[in-house]
Amino acid sequence: MNRARRVREKWFAAALLVFRLFLGGVFLYSGATKIIDPGGFALSVYHYQLLPDVLVNPMAIILPWVEVVCGAALILRWWVGGASLVVTGLLLVFLTALVITLVRGLDISCGCFSATGEGKISWWYLLRDFSLFAMGVLILLFHDRDTGGQPAQA
Amino acid sequence: MTGRVPGLNMGKMKKIASQAALLILGSVLAATAFNAVSPSGLPWLGDWSPEAVAGLYLEDLNEIAADEVLVLEREGLLVFLDPRDPVFYSVDPLPGSINVTPRDVPAMIDELRILAGAGMKIVILCDGVRCTRGVELARVLENSGFRDFGIFRNGGTGRPEKTDGASAPGKAKA
């Protein structure tokens, strides 16, 4: 391996490490804020008008814990492959929900990082979620390289 | 980017998928356990009827009961604010009410302060079962620093009938 390639690999590994910690932190924080106020988050889920009423509360109960568990797994480098798969899948679902909401012109709060009191959904939210999604895909595909070539637990 | 894409062989994909499934299963168990013991836990099946959702919107607002409205009206101390669009208001106005949409607040806020200062009770009428515009008007008033008002849920009918006290869906378990 020549020197330039080694440097590239090193930077790439460092970027993956930063992405993993950042994405893990985002999901940990996002889930924790929703666990604190499940009623408010349930109302946010309801506002999207995407789920039948019977699924609103189960979603509000379970989703924040999936975020917290997977966020913690990413930060602790524990089952990074599985955690990044779940996180990337969730981000894809969130992206779809945002697009549908924007197209339908619903004037609702995102509910992304707090159950209440957030700004209205805009295209900026879509860009933000897409950036997170891209990070998730990179982690999913290359997670065993995020420590400078040392294999992770997969 | 250099090197081949890892994680694309079948064995590794199976491993990642089973990790994901276990993480989700663990999350479901943790969520179920926490929800069972948490004072703010939700019922698994919520009431998301329009009446119940309106109850959530009105949760932290000063809701005025029908009998209180009747007393204030009898004493001539009541000012109803109707938040409906002026077009709808003109078709079916409640006698004595003032049509104030959320947009009108900056122009009306001083007048409302004078009325409240003179001992009048400002009451926002709900514009329907969900009370969407009524709650929006209440939030705009609050954000303008004016909190000396109540909100009347049965206002959508234009008549101070007895409220039925619908339960709120996201309410914590008793």
Residues on chain A touching B35 (C-beta within 8 angstroms): 38, 61
Between B167 and A132, name the one with better pLDDT. Answer: A132
Cβ-based neighbours of B48, under 8 Å, separated by 6 or more? A46, A53, A56, B169
How far A38 CA sits from the closest chain B CA (Å)? Answer: 7
pLDDT of residue A121: 76
Q: Which of A39, A69, A83 is facing B170, going by the closest CB pair? A: A39
Cβ contacts (< 8 Å) between A35 and chain B: which residues?
34
Q: What is the pLDDT of residues A123-148, one digit of tens each?
A: 888 999 999 999 999 999 988 776 64
CB contact under 8 A, B30 and A81: no
Among chain A residues, CA nearest to B2: A9
pTM for the full model?
Answer: 0.71
Minimum-distance CB partner of B19 among A64, A81, A142: A81
| pLDDT at position A115 | 56
Q: Is residue B3 over pLDDT 80?
A: no
pLDDT band of residue A91 (cuts 50, 70, 90) is: very high
Determine contact: A118 vs chain B, CB below 8 A. no
In the numeric block, which tokens belong to residue B108? 């009306």
- Is the confidence at residue A112, as pLDDT, over 80? no
**For residues A85 and B163, what is the distance between their CA atoms, to the nearest angstrom?**
49
Long-range CB pairs of B7-15, under 8 A, 24+ apart, other chains included = B7/A81, B7/A140, B7/A141, B7/A142, B7/A143, B7/A144, B7/A154, B8/A141, B12/A81, B12/A154, B15/A81, B15/A154
Per residue in A72-82, pLDDT (tens digit) is: 999 999 999 99
Q: B43–A154: do the CB atoms touch at under 8 Å?
A: no
pLDDT band for position B100 (cuts 50, 70, 90): very high
* SS3 of residue B43 by DSSP: coil
Q: What average pLDDT does the segment A6-34 reach?
A: 92
Residue A8, chain B, CB below 8 Å: the answer is yes
Which run of H or of E encompasses B53? helix B50-57
User: A23-27, A144-148, B165-169 — which is least confidently predicted?
Assistant: B165-169
Which residues in chain A are contacts of B31 at CB distance < 8 A? 61-62, 64-66
Q: In the prediction, which pLDDT does A150 show?
A: 54
B139 CB neighbours in chain A (<8 A) are none
Q: Where are the domains of chain A?
A: 25-145
Query: What is residue A9's predicted lDDT score, i.e. its pLDDT?
Result: 85
Are B40 and A37 a contacting pair at CB < 8 A? yes
pLDDT for B134 equals 85
| Predicted complex ipTM | 0.88
Of A38, A53, A82, the CB nearest to B48: A53
Partner-chain contact B40 A81, CB within 8 Å: no
Q: Tell me: the pLDDT tens digits for B34-64? A: 999 999 899 999 888 877 887 777 778 888 8
Q: What is the pLDDT of residue A22?
A: 96
pLDDT digits (tens, 9 = 90+) for A31-75: 999 999 898 899 889 888 899 999 999 999 999 999 999 999 999
On chain A, the residues whose CB falls within 8 A of the CB of B26 are: 69
Contacts of B23 in chain A (CB under 8 A): 66, 69-70, 73, 79, 82-83, 86
Spell out which residues of chain A touch residue B19, defining contact as CB-CB under 8 Å: 79, 81-83, 85
Q: Of the candidates A46, A58, A82, which has its C-beta nearest B19's C-beta?
A: A82
Residue B4: per-residue pLDDT: 55
Q: What angle do CA A37, A42, A47 make, to 5 degrees?
A: 130
